[in-house]
Amino acid sequence: MTHKILIIDDEEKLRSLLARIIKSEGFDVFEAKDLKSGFKKLEQMDIDVVLCDVKLPDGNGVDFLQNIKASFPLSEVILLTAFGNIPDGVQAMKNGAFDYIVKGDDNDKIIPLLYKAVEKVQLQKKVQQLEKRINDKYSFNTIIGKSKGIEQVIDLAQKVAKTDSTVLLTGETGTGKEVFAQAIHENSNRVGKSFVALNCSTFSKEILESELFGHKQGAFTGALKDKKGFIEEANGGTLFLDEIGEMPIDLQAKLLRVLETSEYIPVGDTTPKKSNFRLIAATNRDLKTESDEHRFRSDLYFRLNIFEIKLPSLRERIKDIAVLTHHFVKQFSEKTNKKTLHIADDFLQKLENYSWPGNIRELKNIIERSVILSSGDTLTSDVLPYEMQHQAEKTTKSMSAFSMQSVEKLHIQKVLNYTKGNKAETARLLEIGIATLYRKLEEYGIENSKI
């Protein structure tokens, strides 16, 4: 790609000479005789570097520099002056100039400076593109699905994103809680600041405490130097605590204090520190039940449960399975250097009939495996795992009218009829977990029967 250079100078002979020299280096060069016409060229094309005289008929290049940086922040500006002026040079650098050189005395510096300025522009553009890709990756628009359940959840997340409220994301493993946490952060007022994620189930109590609060040198064996904790790293940004239901109960008390006072004390220290962060927590546990049964602090639960968003399981998003499948097939076809595969009806039907205990994460893994195993241009059910290929055999197996299974199936059907198909309410009345209910529905073939 050829880089574009704009020369703004009212001295036509000098301007033309500079243009010829710069063109000989392979740059595209544009000329303007004053600030007004120079600004128009900046608006018309993507200029990389501006060479601008300080003294021009319609203004001062040092002041004009601020207008360029405000409107075209990725363009670099090198100022030219007939006379070296230290105050002008200092102000030029403060206003964002790449450099400030004297005509005649510094002519041999212009080409090397141009190359350095272009290199900086290229780096800035790469960073901008990377940031855009990161923002796009975690945009709400990239969350796949058109089912009513997922659209309602996205709507709730978008509304709370612009606030600083604590968010509690609940739902089964693999439903995309970290994706939602990232999207909330990227659409919040804290975008551009740190997003720090910590899985509370990964570490022992002692290590988790150190990871979360940090520690002082010598606080324990192996603490060879001071270490920042995730709470400090998240200052100004967002702290995402995944699987918060697994946090030891004495650490919960310390976390509650941070949420109430914004103060914390690193392990082995005595001096409180402050951190201003937004907390997003996630769990696949029922924290209300956990707190009722004294396995989770009720005061922390109420502090976390300011705004709860329950992510639907994949079983509750049957109509999204097809669009998710097409997305993952395209993704893994590209990853394995294959032409995008067609999806056979029997392949999709098996997916839609499956109970998906691992939710979207499990679907993604199944699709990757299937794409790898496929030998033709179409995905058929024979590349699916054995239990998925033969799931119908389990659900259609006949039962004795006198068996306990038959009685249980009939009772579940009666309760479903009573709740008009509301599975959450059915599970509550049956006094079983929602995941258990879905397993029963699959086992007895109730899922697709008329309720």
Residue 133 CA to residue 84 CA, distance in Å, equals: 43
pLDDT of 219: 84
pLDDT of 449: 41
pLDDT of 40: 94
Question: Does residue 448 carry a pLDDT above 50?
Answer: no
Strand-strand pairing, 278-283 and 238-242: parallel
In angstroms, the Cα distances linking 250 to 192, 271, 285 are 33, 20, 18
- Which one is the CATH code of 319-396: 2.60.40.10, 3.40.640.10, 1.10.8.60, 3.30.450.20? 1.10.8.60
Residue 39 CA to residue 337 CA, distance in Å, equals: 46
The residue assigned the tokens 């990389």 is 48
**pLDDT (tens digit per residue) in 263-285:** 999 999 999 999 999 999 999 99
pLDDT of 136: 55
pLDDT of 131: 62
Q: 277 or 88: whose pLDDT is higher?
A: 277
- For residues 111-117, average pLDDT: 92
- For residues 231-250, average pLDDT: 95
Do 4-132 and 404-444 fold alike per CATH? no
What CATH architecture applies to the domain 404-444? Orthogonal Bundle (1.10)
pLDDT of 444: 78
Q: Are 161 and 183 in contact (CB under 8 A)?
A: yes
Kindly tell me the number of DSSP H helices and DSSP E strands found in the chain.
20, 16
Class of domain 4-132: alpha beta
Indicate the pTM of the whole model.
Answer: 0.62
In angstroms, the Cα distances linking 284 to 7, 142, 298, 362, 430 are 61, 23, 17, 16, 20
**pLDDT (tens digit per residue) in 191-206:** 989 999 999 998 999 9
**pLDDT (tens digit per residue) in 13-64:** 989 999 999 999 999 999 999 999 999 999 999 999 999 998 899 998 888 9
Comparing 31-40, 233-242, 255-264, 395-404, the range with the smallest average pLDDT is: 395-404
What is the residue extent of each domain of the chain? Answer: 4-132, 160-310, 319-396, 404-444
* Banded pLDDT at 299 (limits 50, 70, 90): very high
pLDDT of 436: 82
Which tokens is 23 given? 């063109």
The residue assigned the tokens 């068996």 is 403
Question: Does residue 307 carry a pLDDT above 90?
Answer: yes
pLDDT of 3: 92
* Domain 160-310 coded CATH 3.20.20.140: no
Q: Are 324 and 362 in contact (CB under 8 A)?
A: no
Residue 5 CA to residue 29 CA, distance in Å, equals: 5
Which tokens is 369 given? 């495996």
The strand pairing partners of 282, in sequence order, are: 169
